[in-house]
Each structure stands twice: as structure tokens, then as C-alpha cells.
Amino acid sequence: MSMRFKWRRAAIMACLCAGIAGCSGGSNTTYFTTRGLKAPQAQCTVDPRTVAVAEPIRDIRERSGCQVENAYRVSSIGGISFSQPAIMNCGMIGPLDTWFNDTVQPAAQRAFGESVVAVNVAASYACRPRNNKRGAKMSEHGFGNAIDIASFTLESGRKVEVEQGYFSWSEKAFIKEVRKGACEDFNTVLGPGDAHHNDHIHVDRANRSRKLC
């Protein structure tokens, strides 16, 4: 093996081992940066079988730095069905269950006198930069550590859109309450009024020193 090849191999190995820590040379490095990002705690905080309809899937590791440890494909949590299966790390399941049970359902009872049975999942795992902005940091979606919810469906079939929710009093109160409550369970909560989040609520468990809600 030539010295040159050895170096090349070492560089590739270092790159793989570094994982998210600023792997340079990949085709996606101009697309987003992983500098300063720390992979989330992906351990299950609850047994997914007890609170969700979820199946473990193979962990995701992209050369660009996107990675989902303890990956699950989730179809429902806490009795709330997802419009499409969501891929996330297992650490997301517990907080979502708590948010749904402790905040979303009580808020729905108060605002509409009925329960939420489904949510429209606009995005879960996605290997992309924040706000789809080229050159920005990798989104927490790249860790399977975030979910975007565009609407909540009630028992009666009524759909409360996050965006239109701001036009009716009860819907506005509901969206405001679920968004505020999410801050108990997540580190980042974004929604209408925040750039790029007018039509959905984004929640994630990013490693940050101060919550962004």
C-alpha cells in the first residue's frame, strides 16, 4: 500500500469517525455545515411499545453528517395518529407523548371540547440545512431529532391548521397553548411569526444552553 493511499484512507476513516464534527470534503459540505453541532441523546426515555405504534429501523448515517441513532418509524404516539410515518430517534418519543398528553389534549378539551386524534406531520427526518438555507447549519431534522406539525385533527374531523389557526379565536388560543406547552418538553419550539414557520410548529431537542421558544 502506498503512503499516499494510506493517507487517503486515514483521511476517509477520520472523516467517518468524526461523524457530524465538521467532516470536510463530502459533497454536501457546501450545502450545510455541522460545525458546533452535537448529536442528541437518542436513548428511549420510555418503552416505545407502551406509548406508540413504532418500529425500530436501521440507524441512519449519511456521509454528510446526518445521522439517526436508535431510529424508529413512528405511526402514532399517545393515541394520536400521524398523517405519514415519522422517522425519529427514540429520544423524541417520550417528549412527544408527554406533550400530547399533558398539553395538546387538555388544550383541545378547553378550546373545542374534544380530543385530538391525528396530526399532519409535515416533516420528520430530513437531511437538510436549517430553513433549507444553503450554507446554514444542519437542521435537527438531520438527527431525526425534530418534527414539524402542520395541523391537528379533532374527533369530529375538524382540522385545526397551524397557519389558519391564527384566524379564529379558539384556534388561536389552542395553537398558542400547545406551542407554549411544547417548551416544557423540547428545547426549540418555532411556529407562526418565526421565519419559515408560518404554517407549522417545529419542535426539537437540540443541544442548546438556553431554550429557544
Interacting residues toward Zn ion by CB under 5 A: 146, 148, 202
Q: How far is the CB of 146 from Zn ion (least distance, A)?
A: 5
Q: How far is the CB of 123 from Zn ion (least distance, A)?
A: 6
How long a stretch of residues is the chain? 213
* C-alpha cell of residue 184: 416544557
* C-alpha cell of residue 140: 435537527
**Nearer Cβ to Zn ion, position 63 or 197?**
197
The burial of 107, by beta-carbon neighbours within 10 Å (0-12 exposed, 13-18 middle, 19 or more buried), is given as: buried
* C-alpha cell of residue 207: 443541544
Q: How far is the CB of 54 from Zn ion (least distance, A)?
A: 20
**Nearer Cβ to Zn ion, position 202 or 205?**
202
Q: How far is the CB of 147 from Zn ion (least distance, A)?
A: 7
What is the number of alpha carbons within 13 Å of residue 202 lying toward its C-beta? Answer: 26
**Nearer Cβ to Zn ion, position 65 or 144?**
144
* C-alpha cell of residue 204: 426539537
**Nearer Cβ to Zn ion, position 179 or 202?**
202
Helix (H) / strand (E) element for 97: namely: helix 93-99
